[in-house]
Amino acid sequence: MESCSIELQYLEGKTIFITGVTGYLAKILSEKILRVQPNVKKLYLLIRAPDSDSAKQRFNNEVLKADLFKVLREKLGANLHGFIQDKVFPVPGDIACDGLGINSELKDDMCREVDIIVNSAGTTRFDERYDTAISINVLGAMHVLKFSKQCSKLKMLLHVSTAYVCGEKAGLILEKPLNYGETLNGGSRLDIDAEKKLVEETLKGLQDGNATEKETTVAMRVLGIERYTIHKNQSIFIDTNMLHGWPNTYSFTKAMGEMLLGHLKEDLRLIILRPTIILSTYKEPFPGWIEGLNKLICMFLPCHRTVDTYIVGYGKGKLNVVVGDRGSILDVIPADMVVNSVIAAMAAHQNPSSQTVVYHISSSRRNQLNIGDIEQIFVDYFKKFPWIDERGNPIKVKEFRFLNSTASLHKYIAIHYMPLLKIMKWVHLILCQHFQAQHIILQRRINHFIRLAELYKPYTFFKGVFDDTNAEMLRMAIRESNADDTFNFDPTTIQWEKYFKETHIPGVVKYIF
């Protein structure tokens, strides 16, 4: 990476276009820009909506009214409405559409004005429908790139990806762009056009066969699993330092999105940020903010909620068994630090360049946290501050139990759950379906338990360390500019036990429980 410097006033007078603004990270980014740089010229915010009024309504209801904006509301008071009207322009559109679905008149204005584009849109569900993941994470990235090339003043396209495009890898993982068509097992070749065509043909076949929406959803999820599994190294003699492949549809399609951007960008300045598992805010605009329950689908939590799945399940007394390794590396980073890195990267890369720069926004190299470390923090917290159930009784939590394989999980279920399930089934038959509800609940809990273990297994056994040499150079530039307080994303400043016990877990309890 070339040397860089940070000019604190860089965003003054700039017009910034942000996609995915109703998502967790883009909300925090929008709030931070408005709060620390009120002299920004405009924020264009892409919101999936059919028209301007609907886009404004979604912005007001899903973004501006969020608790996240309370500091800005208190700061501006009665002036907030006028300030937002002057600076913020919700744009109706859809990243999955060519031209981003923006009407031609507005698009022309934006292409003349926009200085910086931040693509934060994406579907983060691990087992997303393959057609949905392709249209948003892959083709969506391409649509943003095409739009970027039409912007006459554009300084850079900053694309938010995920560190887990690396797949299931051990050892030091470098900050380098992905090569177009390259797979992680070193054997197969990834043809993105062929993947897109396969999706189209499969959908057509399902439609011609009069498949229901539910049948189509299941088929497209299965297709995603089949496609990323093809590129896994299936050998039983895998060295732990070898590449294994992508663990889910999410990381697979995010990798394809990166490849397309690198392949098609030409001389465009491209910055790729790869955060790891994103947690609640560390300090700004206040500690512990995290997306509320309306954005949390417990069965299918996205990557930045991996840790929170276990916090919720454990605190409510429903989950104390983990399929994983206590020594596995849990790379987490607070959301406001990710946002600080986005703004720092904007300010650092002002000079035209065709070089693609990749940043790992991570903690594993400089302030490593293992699953065993966090396990004890959960136990200590919920023993001291137990969750109170709907009857007013404190939930008593148990010590965590770690299982080292999926086979161990099935054995555990066979011993601890299946006898009770069989008893319920027989009682249910004898007593004329009297225990039907309890039987269904227990079966669902078992299925949910197995599903969580499969979804999160790549992360509960993860042995990789994310190199952050480029990110450290960016942090050095921040220190030299005396901007540490404003744009801090240094993981060494985090005391993990204090952060989890005093900030993150209380935030999860407040906003998610």
CATH assignment at residue 152: 3.40.50.720
Structural domain range at position 210: 15-386+445-512
Ranked by mean pLDDT, which of 121-130, 138-147, 285-294 comes out on top? 138-147
Q: DSSP letter at 152?
A: T
What number is the average pLDDT over the span 29-57? 96
Residue 433 belongs to a domain: no
What number is the average pLDDT over the span 255-266? 97
- CB contact at 8 A, 465 and 169: no
Residue 292 belongs to a domain: yes
> With bands split at pLDDT 50, 70 and 90, how would you rate the model's confidence at 26?
very high
Q: Give Cα separations from 42 to 9, 14, 121, 346, 494 (angstroms).
A: 15, 7, 19, 15, 33
Q: Which of 156-160, 272-276, 357-361, 412-416 has the lowest mean pLDDT?
A: 412-416
Q: Which structure tokens are listed for 277?
A: 């598992």
What number is the average pLDDT over the span 174-199? 90
What number is the average pLDDT over the span 231-257? 73
- For residues 28-38, one letter each, b for 16 or more C-beta atoms within 10 angstroms of the residue's C-beta and e for the rest, the string is bbbbbbbebbe
- CB contact at 8 A, 369 and 363: yes
What's the pLDDT tens digit per position in 320-329?
888 999 999 9
Residue 426 belongs to a domain: no
Count the alpha carbons within 13 Å of 278 in the hemisphere toward its beta carbon: 30
Residue 417 belongs to a domain: no
Residue 7 belongs to a domain: no
What number is the average pLDDT over the span 33-39? 95
Q: Give Cα separations from 319 to 311, 325, 377, 484, 491 (angstroms).
A: 9, 16, 15, 39, 29
Residue 402 belongs to a domain: no
pLDDT in the model for residue 268: 95
Distance CA 68, CA 54 (A): 22
φ, ψ for residue 55, nearest 5 deg:
-65, -45
pLDDT in the model for residue 427: 67
Q: How many domains does the chain have?
A: 1
Residue 428 pLDDT greater than 70, yes or no: no
Per DSSP, the three-state class of 79 is helix
Distance CA 441, CA 437 (A): 6
pTM of the model: 0.92
Distance CA 377, CA 369 (A): 12
Letter for the amino acid at 455? L
Residue 172 pLDDT greater than 60, yes or no: yes
pLDDT in the model for residue 361: 98
Q: Is the dihedral of CA 447, 290, 60, 89 positive or negative?
A: negative
Position with higher pLDDT, 305 vs 411: 411
Q: Which structure tokens are listed for 326?
A: 């206590």
Distance CA 360, CA 338 (A): 10
- CB contact at 8 A, 375 and 416: no
Could you tell me where the beta strands, DSSP code E, fall in 150-191? 156-160, 171-173
- CB contact at 8 A, 362 and 174: no
pLDDT in the model for residue 384: 95
Cis peptide bond upstream of 285, omega within 30: yes
Position with higher pLDDT, 400 vs 142: 142
Residue 299 pLDDT greater than 50, yes or no: no
Q: Which residues, 6 or more positions from 103, have their beta carbon under 8 angstroms from its beta carbon?
A: 92
pLDDT in the model for residue 444: 82
Which is nearest to 255 in space by CA: 378, 328, 163, 168? 163
- Residues marked active site are found at 250, 254
Distance CA 194, CA 181 (A): 11
Residue 392 belongs to a domain: no
CA angle 372, 373, 377 (to 5 degrees): 115
- CB contact at 8 A, 302 and 496: no
Ranked by mean pLDDT, which of 122-126, 272-276, 482-486 comes out on top? 272-276
Letter for the amino acid at 478? I
Distance CA 451, CA 128 (A): 14
φ, ψ for residue 325, nearest 5 deg:
-120, 125
pLDDT in the model for residue 5: 59
> With bands split at pLDDT 50, 70 and 90, how would you rate the model's confidence at 304?
very low
pLDDT in the model for residue 76: 95
Q: Give Cα separations from 125 to 46, 201, 329 (angstroms).
A: 20, 23, 21
Residue 409 belongs to a domain: no
φ, ψ for residue 464, nearest 5 deg:
-90, 150
DSSP output for 444-484: HHHHHHHHHHHHHHHHHT--EEE--HHHHHHHHHHHHTT-H
What number is the average pLDDT over the span 421-431? 67
> With bands split at pLDDT 50, 70 and 90, how would you rate the model's confidence at 6?
low
Q: In the chain, how long is the greatest CA-to-CA distance?
A: 77
Letter for the amino acid at 368? Q
